[in-house]
Amino acid sequence: MDKPNIGHHISKQFNTELEDTLNRVLAMGGLVEQQLDDGIKALIEGDAELGRLITTRDYKINALEVAIDEECTQIIARRQPTASDLRLIMSVIKTIADLERIGDEAERIGRMAVAFSQAEGSKKHFAGIESMGEQVKQMLHNALDAYARMDAEAAVDVWRQDRKVDTKYENITRQLITYMMEDPRSIPWVLDVLWSARALERIGDRARNICEYIIYFVKGKDVRHTSLEHMEKEVR
């Protein structure tokens, strides 16, 4: 991978360690993407078997988080990194934490898919969920792509997408609440749909976090809890 500030050390072993760590992060990201894709598919199609499969695969993501975290600890202990190297390691530690939580949300969607497959509810509100799911999947994919290239400008573009996801979530929430008020019998299965939408919204937030870590590494600026306008200014 061609990344800024990587591959400049006198120690080739140090360069290799950093490269290997980043590759493992991206491998973890690939597993998370697959879990999310399968979770949305299981929910929309009412596929209980796929939903159960998702819950059995989450341990792989958890194991990768533990392994990468330990690898980062060893790098810090052996190499005592400073400046951009330290920022890179810190961004990795934070990124894998968010990826693990995205995996948890995907697992939650899988469980909801199992529950919904056994309910007698209508799927007419799934159009909104499906559309939101596609937006979130693209957002996560773009965030991981920006991470692979450590592209701060691409990270800002992904951060902007989260606003659209939030708007979609708000619209879906209003629609589902209205539906429950009109037909109280629908409350149990509508709540499953609502919690699935909430999981997707949180995944969008986690993808946005990953973009903030990219900017932190590339620009040396902590843009958490700031506005989009401030972030754009820091990246220029």
User: Which stretches of 46-151 are DSSP H helices?
Assistant: 48-79, 83-117, 126-149
Domains for the chain: give ranges and CATH numbers. Answer: 12-235 (1.20.58.220)
Indicate whether 155 pLDDT > 50: yes
What is the distance between the alpha carbons of residues 234 and 148, in angstroms, rounded to a whole number?
Answer: 20
Amino acid symbol at 3: K
Token readout for 116 is 């919904």
What is the distance between the alpha carbons of residues 83 and 209, in angstroms, rounded to a whole number?
Answer: 21
pLDDT tens per residue across span 64-123: 999 999 999 999 999 999 888 999 999 999 999 999 999 999 999 999 888 887 766 556
Q: Quick count: other Cβ atoms within 10 Å of Cβ 124?
A: 8
Q: Quick count: other Cβ atoms within 10 Å of Cβ 8?
A: 10
Closest CA to 31 of 132, 112, 102: 102
pLDDT band for position 189 (50/70/90)?
confident
What is the distance between the alpha carbons of residues 48 and 43, in angstroms, rounded to a whole number?
Answer: 8
pLDDT tens per residue across span 194-218: 999 999 999 999 999 999 999 999 9
Indicate whether 1 pLDDT > 50: no
Predicted TM-score (pTM) above 0.75? yes
Q: Is the dihedral of CA 31, 104, 148, 15 positive or negative?
A: negative
pLDDT tens per residue across span 166-179: 999 999 999 999 98
Q: 7: which DSSP letter?
A: S
